[in-house]
Amino acid sequence: MKYSKPRGTRDFLPGEMAARRYVEQMIRRVFIRFGYKEIATPTFEHLELITAKSGEDIVAHLYHFKDKGGRDLALRPELTAPVMRLYVNELQNSPKPLRLYYFGNCFRYERPQAGRYREFFQAGVELIGSSSPEAQAEVIALVNAVLEELGIREYELHIGNIGILRKILAENGIGEEVQAHIMGVIDKGDEAQLEEELNRLELPEEEKEVILGVLELKGRRGEVVERAEALLAGRESVLKELRSFEEILDALESFGVKNYHLNLGIARGLDYYTGMVFEVYAYKLGAEKQICGGGSYSLAEVFGGKPVATSGFAFGFDRLLLALEKEGVKLPDTERTLFMVIPMGRELVPYAIEVASLVRRSYVCELEVMRRKVKKALAYADAKGIPYVILVGEEIKEGKVLLKDMRAKEQREVNVEELESVLAAIAKGNP
């Protein structure tokens, strides 16, 4: 019986994995340059940890199960909650700020489509311990630095502040649980449902107009702030939140990030965000255009820790790769096989193994292990696109091998003692 992979999952072939690992390492390098240290958490967690602040939509799409001890567990749908659980368990007393990064797979039982899978991968960071404008701005600047490093050009960075909406709702006596529900509706972009929810809350018409007006505040900084100040006139606590938000934007511009859009309609689909939020869109991806999202939040106290200011984000790694593909960014094949060693007789296999071992100290090298005739082994190398073949013949007893250029159809004798320097020159010309 032939088995197929589960719906919403993927197999990755060698070429795909080479590209994924290359991009992953580029992202890691940028995270490390900013001072972030890698952590890892379990693939599954206790169900109550995941449901505590994940938002209605995410909870509805969990993979959850009971283990043999009857415990309720869930595959992680994102990584922020597990990271903060790790922080509360292991790192609360560490010097602040903590800069942590992660890379891992996540699971949501959603309808598979382009750019959306049931098993997907995230790369992200959490900056724990500071609510300063520069700390929050650094997180956004880090996103920008990653995108520049990858060579993605056609994207938009949208920045908002969920704290403004939360303060308006709080002033109207709306508790955090209902606020979270409203934010989930806003995140879905369902205007009709939002109208229904606001009517159900029996808010004064003026308050509904202010909330809907805030959601429409989108564009360049000067224009949006001016309109926001007019709309929120007389609401001192809300205006204070707006002024704090502007301090973050000032710091962000000091980081050199100036090409952004303000979008006060961003809500995010997770319940724990409290202030600044942002999303990155790559419009060439169509409906599934979001490649990154994050913001500032408070979560440690939900998991039994002391309250601590935190900012973070996660890249949708799969969508990042799609964005690179759509923009035509060419990724180098860092696992490309440059050389192949072929023994020209069975008695020469031990010598061929020694030569292959020598080459493998520095370069990707295949050894002929199928015991094919030389002609068939060369045909294999040609089919695989291996540009250079080292033939180990009787010359090896004199300390020499034959180096064959498969593209030029030329070969020459090379002393084994000089082989490393010859191969280095070849590799330099074949980046």
Is residue 11 scored above 90 in pLDDT?
A: yes
Both structure tokens of 420 = 């490393």
Among 51-65, 381-395, 399-413, the least confident range: 51-65
Fold for domain 14-326? BirA Bifunctional Protein; domain 2 (3.30.930)
d(CA 18, CA 21): 5
| More reliable by pLDDT, 91 or 207 | 91
Q: Does domain 339-428 match CATH 3.40.50.800?
A: yes
pLDDT at 265: 85
pLDDT band of residue 269 (cuts 50, 70, 90) is low
d(CA 116, CA 137): 29
Residue 350 one-letter amino acid: P
Q: Which tens digits make up the pLDDT trace of 177-203?
A: 788 788 878 877 777 888 888 888 778
* Exposure string for 280-306, b = 16+ CB within 10 A, e = fewer: bbbeebeeebebbbbbbbbbbebbebe
DSSP state, residue 48: H
Over residues 268-284, mean pLDDT: 85
Terminal-to-terminal C-alpha distance of the chain: 43
Both structure tokens of 22 = 């290359």
d(CA 78, CA 43): 10
pLDDT at 184: 78
Residue in this structure with the two tokens 């859009």, named with its chain if needed = 261
- H or E element: which one contains 242? helix 236-254
| More reliable by pLDDT, 136 or 114 | 136
pLDDT at 431: 58
Helix, coil or strand: residue 44 = strand
Cite the DSSP H helix spans in 87-204.
133-150, 162-171, 176-188, 191-200
Distances (CA, A) of 69 to 42, 46, 51, 62: 18, 13, 20, 20
Both structure tokens of 154 = 């056609």
Q: Which tens digits make up the pLDDT trace of 77-100?
A: 999 999 999 999 999 999 999 999
Domain locations in the chain as residue ranges = 14-326, 339-428
pLDDT at 175: 83
pLDDT band of residue 303 (cuts 50, 70, 90) is very high
* Exposure string for 25-61, b = 16+ CB within 10 A, e = fewer: eebbebbeebebeebebeebbebebbbbbbbbbbbee
Q: Are the C-beta atoms of residues 295 and 162 closer than 8 Å to each other? A: yes
List the strands of the sheet with 64-66, edge to edge. 44-46, 72-75, 64-66
Q: Are the C-beta atoms of residues 299 and 283 closer than 8 Å to each other? A: no
Both structure tokens of 333 = 């094949």
**Cis amide leading into 343 (omega within 30):** no
> Residue 283: what are its φ and ψ, rounded to 5°?
-70, -20
pTM assigned to the model = 0.89
Over residues 120-125, mean pLDDT: 97
Residue 68 one-letter amino acid: K
Among 132-136, 139-143, 329-333, 363-367, the least confident range: 329-333
Helix/strand/coil (H/E/C) assignment for every residue in 300-362: HHHHCCCCCCEEEEEEEHHHHHHHHHHCCCCCCCCCCCCEEEEECCHHHHHHHHHHHHHHCCC
